[in-house]
A and B are shown apart, each in its own frame.
Chain A
C-alpha cells in the first residue's frame, strides 16, 4: 500500500513536471505570459488524434507534425497578439487567456469527448516495481520528464538562446543593450513552450483521454508547479512537482479524492502569501510585494 502510493506519487510528480515544463519555459523563465498553454496542450492532443484517425498518418509522423504546428502557432500568437500588448502584464494574461478559452470551447462545441479520444501507448506492457504494477507508458513519463527537465536546465544555462530567455525576464532593457532581440527571443520562448506542451500531450494523453476540461486543468497545474517552484528556476520545477505530486497522492489515498485539488490550491496560496517568488525564485522582491 505504502510502496504503491510512493511509486504512483513519483509518477504523478513526473506527470506534473511534464505538464509544467513548457509553461515554465515561457512564463517562468522568459517572463512571457502564455495562458493559452492548456489550450495548446489540448490542441496538440486532438491534432495527433485527428491526423491518425482522419488523415491516416503514421503515429510518429503525426506527433512530429503536431509539435511543428504548435511551434508555428506559438510564433504567430506572439507576433500578432502578444507583441502588441507586451509589457502590460494584465493585458498579456487576458489576451492569451481569451485565446485559450476560444480554442478550448471550440473543441467542446465540436463535442470530441469520450473514451475513444485517446492516443495509443508507445509499448503495451507493464512491469512490477515494489509489488506494484506499473505500465510501460508511466515509466516513459518518468524517464522523459527527467530527461526534459535536465535538458531544460542545460538549455537555460549553457546556450545563448537559453541565456537570452533568462535575460529578458531579468531586465529587458539591459538585455537589449547586450544585443538580444527581445521580440525574437520572446517569440521563441512562446513557440518552445507550445512545442513542449505538444510533447507533454503525446506522452501523457495515452494514460487517459482527451477532453477540453483537461486544458484548464493543465494550465492550473502548470501554474501551481511554477508558482511553488519559483519563477525562473528549473530546479524549482522538480521540487515543486515532487511536493505537489506527493501531496496529491497522499491526500487521495488517506483523506479523500475531493481534497486533492484543495491541497494543491492551498499550497499555491501559502507560497504566494509567504514568498511570492516561490521556493527557488530569487528575483525582484519589491516588485512582488510591498
Chain B
C-alpha cells in the first residue's frame, strides 16, 4: 500500500536581504555602536550564521536615551491624528512586506513559515492598525482624568514571537505619545532591524523609535538607566523578578509579562475531537515556546484513555522539520540552551516516574530539534508538572470533580492563562470565575487579538497588553 508523502514545498528565502553586520538604530538612522563587540545570530534549524549585530553597552544605551529625549520633544508636539497616521502607514508597510518579514522571522527564530506567514505577520499588522486608531481618541479610552504618557519607555522583548512582541510593545507605546528604546532578544534581532528600516521609510521623527541590540547586559543597562520612565518586559519570571528588584529604588512604571504553566482543563462533556485539537495547539504551537502554552493537560479521569488515545494519534500527524517547508508544523527549538533545558527536564520526568510518549519522526541532522512529547501517569509534584519547560512537552494530570480541577489548575505560582473544555456554558463561567489566570480560553486556545487584553496573575506578571486596558500600561496617572 502506497503512502502519500508530501513533497518538499520550500518557501524561497531569496526575498530577504540580510547584511553581514548591523549597528544600532538611534537618531532615526543606523550607526555604529560605541561597543566594538558583536554577537552572531544563527538560524536554529541549520546552525548557519545569518548575521552579526552589535552587542550594545551602557554608552549605547545612553545614546539611545539622548536620542529618545529629542524624539520626545517632537513626538509630544504632534497631534493624536498625526501619530495615528504614522502608525497606520507602518501597518500598511508591514502588510505589504509581510512575506519578507515572515521568511526572515522563520530564518532567525526557527518557527514554521506557515506560522510566521499565517499567524505572526497578520497579527503584527493588526496590532499596528488597532493602536493607530487609539492615537487620536485617547480621551475616549478611559473616563479618568489626568492620564498622560510616561515619556521614554524601555522595552525588552523575547525570542519566541520577536516581531509580534515588538508590535505589542511599540504600537501602544507610540500611540499613547511615548517614545521607545527597544532591546530585542539576543537570538532574534533581525525582524526588529527590518522594522527600523520601515520607520525610516515612513519618516518617523528621529528618536521616536530606537533600537539597541545586545544580550542580557544590554538589557540590564537599559533597566538601570535613570532617565527611563517606564520599563515593559516580556520574558522569564526569573529576569522579571530581577527587573522588579533593580528598579525598586525608583518611581518607574513597570509591566511584566512572564512565564506560565497553564492548565488546559478537559471535562468529560467536552467536544472531544475539538478538545484534542485545542490541547495540541495549546502546547505544540510554536514548538511550545509560548508563555501562555497549555502545558498541563488537566483531564477528567473518566475520559482519560479515550482522550489520550486520540491525542497520541493526532500528535503523530505533526510534521517536524525544515521551518521553511510550508508543510512543517513544528520547527526548530530556538537555541542550544533551550534544547538542553527541555531535554534535562524531560529526562527528569521519566526518572520521576512519568510515562513518556514521543512521536515517531525523523529529526534533521543539523539544528536544534525536539520531538513532540506527552507525559501521562504524572503527578502534580513532578518537576515536569510544576516548572515551565518552554518546549513541545505536555504533562497530563487527572481530576475527578470540578473543584479538584480548579485546585490543580491554581496550584502553581504562575497565572497567565488557562483553557476550559466543556460544552456546558454555565460550567465554563463557573470555572472561569475560579481560575487564577489573566487569560481564559473556553473551547479554544491561543487566540489573540489586538483588542483583547493579555497578561497574568501572580508570578506570571502584572499589567495588560492589548485592548483598552492595555493602554493603561503606557498612560501614567498624574497625581
Co-assembled chains A and B: no
Q: Which residues of B contact A (CB under 8 A)?
A: none
Q: Give chain A's interface residues, CB within 8 Å of chain B.
A: none
